[in-house]
Amino acid sequence: MDLLLKDILSKIKMPPEELETVRGFLLEKRIKKNEFLFRNGEVCNYDSFILSGALKAYYINPVSGKEEILFFAIESWWATDLDSFANRTPSIYNIQAVDEVLLVQIHHQSLQELLQKIPKMERYFRLILQGYLSSIQRRIILMNSTTAEERYLDFADRYPKIIQKVPQYLIASYLGITPEFLSRIRARK
Amino acid sequence: MDLLLKDILSKIKMPPEELETVRGFLLEKRIKKNEFLFRNGEVCNYDSFILSGALKAYYINPVSGKEEILFFAIESWWATDLDSFANRTPSIYNIQAVDEVLLVQIHHQSLQELLQKIPKMERYFRLILQGYLSSIQRRIILMNSTTAEERYLDFADRYPKIIQKVPQYLIASYLGITPEFLSRIRARK
DNA sequence: CGTCTATTTGAATGTACTCAAAAGCGGTGG
DNA sequence: CCACCGCTTTTGAGTACATTCAAATAGACG
């Protein structure tokens, strides 16, 4: 839990007693390998901050019927389907534990109350979103302007921790290529 | 300017006198076809809300040397390089007017003051970011799981206004394909 | 050790790209 | 009003990057 409180303090100023109030809205949760945070079709009720472990978000390609990775999330990241969480709509993807994961969660309803009680937290979440928007935009640029090989090298460079714990066929899926082709890319280095 | 104030009221509650305070932080600006909002390498000092017209954001592919469209923006959208604007770093792309554009702008410094004076605006901008994050994530899914043809049909369907004003080779660039290939796609319908 | 899953290798194929050239189209000036 | 210019779109031929399907290896785990 402290990892989250530290993250908050790194982004906004907050006196200790307010921080304790924030703590009161949070829940710790442990989920086992392969368990789901939520599934396609459910409304996502929690926003989850990762203390340790890794999650994968994926959807099923309606044409091929295969799993496709949307993103991975590791410690210090928030993971949710924001559209589902914020607008109370069924999620279009799944989030599942890659290994054992320790989380801090906040329920949708609690978040509304927290934002009401401590409006400063609006700023915290705005800054979080801002960071994600930059990184996802960077990913779009990468997808449009580079070959699979460059994307793989960039990913390996940027997220070595993920490469270590996640099987190669999931990395391939994240990069938008087949596992066979990723294998060939790695072979020619 | 009213289009923006209406947008704010559609997302958060705000008494008229506060809304007038917000107005005081804003500037109207008209830019001509092909003029730039900012260029690659500059720090982006304004966040701009579009009242009318269309903008394109693009970067130069370092390998091919060609322009690649990151996004288009039309009325009721905010346009900026958020990373540059928020973190005072040089922008990695350009934003240029596709036709004559009417904007409401807020300077980076003014925004800090506005957020201080009217913290409710944190919420407005958080909600804006939330919407963009959802739509950009949707775009990633589309890029990974569909062919160029499906992407074009989806785009044509979703943004008919943009199709009307933007030349085809820019649409191709946005979709991550060559103009020749887009031409062939359209031919086979 | 055997089973199940993940990775690698091979061959044929497809989607999209490159380069080149032709055709279309809109504006401007003679 | 037509001719020409510059720019966009289309068409053609050859090529490259990445996929599919199939089969062989390699690894992990009970």
Written as one letter, the residue type at B46 is: Y
Residue with tokens 């007693």: A17
Pairing assessment for the beta strands A46-52 and A101-107 based on DSSP bridges? antiparallel
* Angle, vertex CA A159, rays to CA A158 and CA A161, nearest 5: 145
* Angle, vertex CA A45, rays to CA A43 and CA A49, nearest 5: 130
CA distance A177 to B68: 22
Q: Name the nucleotide nearest A181; use CA and C1'.
A: D18
CA distance A77 to A69: 17
Judged against a pLDDT cut of 90, whether residue A8 lies above it is answered with yes
Q: Name the nucleotide nearest B167; use CA and C1'.
A: D8
CA distance A122 to B43: 25
CA distance A89 to B18: 32
User: So what's the pLDDT on residue B189?
Assistant: 66
Q: Rounded to the nearest 10 degrees, what angle do helices B148-158 and B168-175 cross at?
A: 120
Contacts 24+ apart (CB under 8 A), A156-164: A159/A72, A159/A74, A161/A54, A161/A74, A162/A54, A162/A72, A162/A74
User: So what's the pLDDT on residue A111?
Assistant: 98
**Tally of CB atoms within 10 A around B32:** 10
Stated in angstroms, how far is B182 CA from D10 C1'? 10
Extract the tokens encoding B28.
């109207």
User: How far is the alpha carbon of B31 from chain A, nearest alpha carbon, in Å?
Assistant: 25
| Percent of all residues in chain A with a pLDDT value above 70, rounded to a whole number | 99
Nearest CB partner across the interface for B140, out of A123, A129, A139: A139
User: So what's the pLDDT on residue A5?
Assistant: 97
User: So what's the pLDDT on residue A189?
Assistant: 66
pTM of the model: 0.92
Contacts of A87 (CB under 8 A, 6+ apart): none
Contact positions of strand D to protein Cβ (< 7 A): 8-13, 17-22
What stretch of H or E contains B171?
helix B168-175
Written as one letter, the residue type at B62 is: P
User: So what's the pLDDT on residue B187?
Assistant: 92
Contacts 24+ apart (CB under 8 A), A28-32: A28/A1, A28/A102, A28/A103, A28/A104, A28/A105, A29/A102, A29/A103, A29/A104, A29/A105, A30/A100, A30/A101, A30/A102, A30/A103, A31/A97, A31/A100, A31/A101, A31/A103, A32/A97, A32/A100
Q: What is the pLDDT of residues B89-147, one digit of tens each?
A: 999 999 999 989 999 999 999 999 999 999 999 999 999 999 999 999 999 999 888 99
Stated in angstroms, how far is A62 CA from C7 C1'? 26
| Percent of all residues in chain B with a pLDDT value above 70, rounded to a whole number | 99
| Percent of all residues in chain B with a pLDDT value above 90, rounded to a whole number | 87
Could you tell me the pLDDT band of residue A167, with boundaries at 50, 70 and 90?
very high
**With contact defined as beta carbons under 8 Å apart, do B152 and B175 qualify?**
yes
CA distance B61 to A146: 9
Contacts of A70 (CB under 8 A, 6+ apart): A57, A58, A59, A93, A174, B137, B140, B141
User: How far is the alpha carbon of B123 from chain A, nearest alpha carbon, in Å?
Assistant: 6
Contacts of A85 in chain B (CB under 8 A): none
Q: What is the pLDDT of residues A10-59, one digit of tens each?
A: 999 999 999 999 999 999 999 999 999 999 999 999 999 999 999 999 99
Stated in angstroms, how far is A161 CA from D28 C1'? 21
Nearest to B103 by CA among B86, B79, B72: B79
Written as one letter, the residue type at A188 is: R
DSSP letter at A55 equals E
Nearest CA in chain B to A145: B61
A94 beta partners = A58
Could you tell me the pLDDT band of residue B188, with boundaries at 50, 70 and 90?
confident
Nearest to A138 by CA among A183, A57, A71: A71
User: How far is the alpha carbon of A94 from chain B, nearest alpha carbon, in Å?
Assistant: 13
CA distance A8 to A21: 13
What distances in angstroms separate CA A52 from CA A30, A74, B72, B111, B122, one per listed residue?
Answer: 10, 7, 38, 36, 30
User: So what's the pLDDT on residue B174?
Assistant: 96
